[in-house]
Structure 1
């Protein structure tokens, strides 16, 4: 499965596009703005950046990330590829815009908006919304965000998690570390779930079916003496009946233990 990387575009150009609706001040007069087509006086635009981004997301959702190429999006919007470049200058910027748009779809409560009082319930909202986002857009599993698109959607997630921990009495560094730990765990697990979905779609075969085809491993090749721990768990009926159930249980277990650990470190909860 091919992996693409976010954050590969030209920085100034990418930031201008990501924050196009959140400018603190208007651009300097006469200065060219990324995503704006040079047009004659009175000529109305046929597209805008939002339409381009949503078309890319729609194609990626329906046909996979490879379909959301500049040519593919141009065809979807019934314009020439060169016309599309006047709105989004490259495939790198388009990818960042798509990723940040779906991050914003989580619609996490912002400053002053209603949210649960309990911090753990606030983290549950992040968990649920993030997993649902990956389920709606499984192509996200094909995008490495080690260098993320630093747009409104990405920053909204960071702000939400930090605010959830502010009342626990953790130091600023511990607060940031706790938020990063949640992001690492939840986003990684949600990405693996999405990757599993992509593989099942691509192959037409479920993970359980894939394992069943390899069931001869246990009868022919598995040595109980070399794998005593696995054997003990098997004999005690410790394995889930399906890979999906096992993934769900392990995710829940891991998140609960992570939250328990953060709570144990927080003076205000002791």
Structure 2
């Protein structure tokens, strides 16, 4: 992978405009190539994305694409950053929700939505992230949300990182659910319904008393989607409670 070339493409809006050259006008733009690749991954999965397939979709020769992007690795970086940028989080000086907790909730909601819309995003590494404007806009927004609530700088950075990891982990799980349902044509509730015999024939209430009590008291009454959303919101709110407790004077 050509790291410098990849970064140059990711931050193409900041590079100096290339001098106009004589000759034929390019048939495509890089944004068209990225949008086509994203649409293909959304419809059929990341594995279907190849330079030849994208060229076919755009009705150009495969070698033509290499004048826009060096290869699939760099293209995937551009795809990831493009969909992250679509969160459209308020930037510096732009209107934000009132209160840091509402700001974090907005980050969580839009991140979850983008993973659900683009399930293939779950397979990308956030350990070695794509250092593009879409990713950094999210991090800037999140750090700004927690940097002025009274935490020391290192704790504020840790809080932002903890929120980011929690949200992305849950968003990736949600994306996996969407992807599996799409690939199999079967909902998660239907999958569990097919296995109802497990609870009747194999589940041992004596070995799982806590689970049994939870079931009998109605703790598992929600459907899969509702339970997932409840767990996500519950965990996020408790995390925010914990952060807030660090800066709220004890009475």
1:143 maps to 2:135: no
Measure the CA separation in 2 of the matches of 1:45 and 1:83.
Answer: 10
Judged with a 3 Å threshold, the aligned counterparts in structure 2 of structure 1 residues 213 and 96 are, in CA distance, closer, same or farther, namely same
Partner residue of 1:20 out of 9, 12, 21: 12
- 1:197-218 CA-to-partner distances (Å, cap 9, x unmatched) read 1101111111111111111211
- Where relative contact order (Cα < 8 A, 6+ residues apart) is larger, the structure is 1
How far residue 26 of structure 1 moved from its aligned partner, in angstroms, is 5.9
Partner residue of 1:177 out of 158, 162, 175: 158
* CA RMSD, 1 decimal: 1.9
1:10 maps to 2:2: yes
Query: SS at the partner of 1:225?
Result: coil
Partner residue of 2:169 out of 180, 183, 188: 188
Give the gaps of 5 or more residues in structure 1: 1-8, 30-38
Judged with a 3 Å threshold, the aligned counterparts in structure 2 of structure 1 residues 83 and 236 are, in CA distance, closer, same or farther, namely same
The TM-score normalised by the length of structure 2 is: 0.94
Superposition pairs of residues 213-232 of structure 1, within 5 angstroms: 213-232=194-213
1:91 maps to 2:83: no
- 1:137-178 CA-to-partner distances (Å, cap 9, x unmatched) read 122123233211100001000000000012211111111111
Q: Which stretch of structure 1 is more off in the superposition, 252-261 or 236-245? A: 236-245
Instruction: Give the corresponding residue for 1:111.
Output: 92
Question: How many pairs align?
Answer: 251
Partner residue of 1:167 out of 148, 161, 169: 148
Measure the CA separation in 2 of the matches of 1:213 and 1:58.
Answer: 32
Measure the CA separation in 2 of the matches of 1:208 and 1:116.
Answer: 35
Measure the CA separation in 2 of the matches of 1:170 and 1:72.
Answer: 50
Measure the CA separation in 2 of the matches of 1:106 and 1:243.
Answer: 25
Judged with a 3 Å threshold, the aligned counterparts in structure 2 of structure 1 residues 43 and 130 are, in CA distance, closer, same or farther, namely same
1:207 maps to 2:199: no
Judged with a 3 Å threshold, the aligned counterparts in structure 2 of structure 1 residues 268 and 116 are, in CA distance, closer, same or farther, namely farther
Measure the CA separation in 1 of the matches of 2:196 and 2:101.
Answer: 41
Measure the CA separation in 2 of the matches of 1:54 and 1:140.
Answer: 14
Instruction: Give the corresponding residue for 1:64.
Output: 45
How far residue 268 of structure 1 moved from its aligned partner, in angstroms, is 7.7
How far residue 40 of structure 1 moved from its aligned partner, in angstroms, is 7.0
Instruction: Give the corresponding residue for 1:5.
Output: none
Contact 1:263 1:269 in 2 (8 A): no
Query: SS at the partner of 1:87?
Result: coil
Measure the CA separation in 2 of the matches of 1:162 and 1:265.
Answer: 17
Contact 1:168 1:268 in 2 (8 A): no
Give runs of ≥4 in structure 1 deviating > 4 Å: 267-270
Give the gaps of 5 or more residues in structure 2: none
Partner residue of 2:244 out of 263, 266, 269: 263
Measure the CA separation in 2 of the matches of 1:209 and 1:249.
Answer: 20
